Amino acid sequence: MTGQIAYSLAAALIGSALGAVYVALLWASVRALARPRPVAGFAALAAVRAIVVLGALGAALASGAGPGALLSALTGFTALRIVATRVLGRAGHGGPT
């Protein structure tokens, strides 16, 4: 039982780390819209975000992660994304504080 809890917490932490990378890439994508050739930059970073998420999902499935681990990782990912958008939204300028 304790091993399963530790495994779920580890999966949630990995999901949170993935969420941090995703939010950082999303922030860079939005910032790319203000640069020359905004569509190219935004599209490239969107592709990188998709590769990161799909690559992490593929790695988890290849390593034999079960539904509990995937759900824990998704929970960590979602929690980080919610916290980051609330903190950045409160900052009022869309950048890290």
Average pLDDT, 10 consecutive residues per value, the chain (97 residues): 85 93 91 90 94 93 91 92 83 53
pLDDT of residue 2: 82
Q: Which long-range contacts (CB under 8 A, 24 or more apart) does 82-86 make?
A: 84/19, 84/20, 84/23, 85/23
pLDDT at position 97 is 43
Measured at the alpha carbon of residue 37, what is the angle toward residues 36 and 38, in degrees to the nearest 5?
95
State the pTM of this model. Answer: 0.79
Mutual angle of helices 2-32 and 38-62, in 10-degree steps: 170
Identify whether the C-beta of residue 18 lies closer than 8 Å to the C-beta of residue 81: no
pLDDT at 88: 75
For the chain, report the end-to-end CA distance as a whole number of angstroms.
39
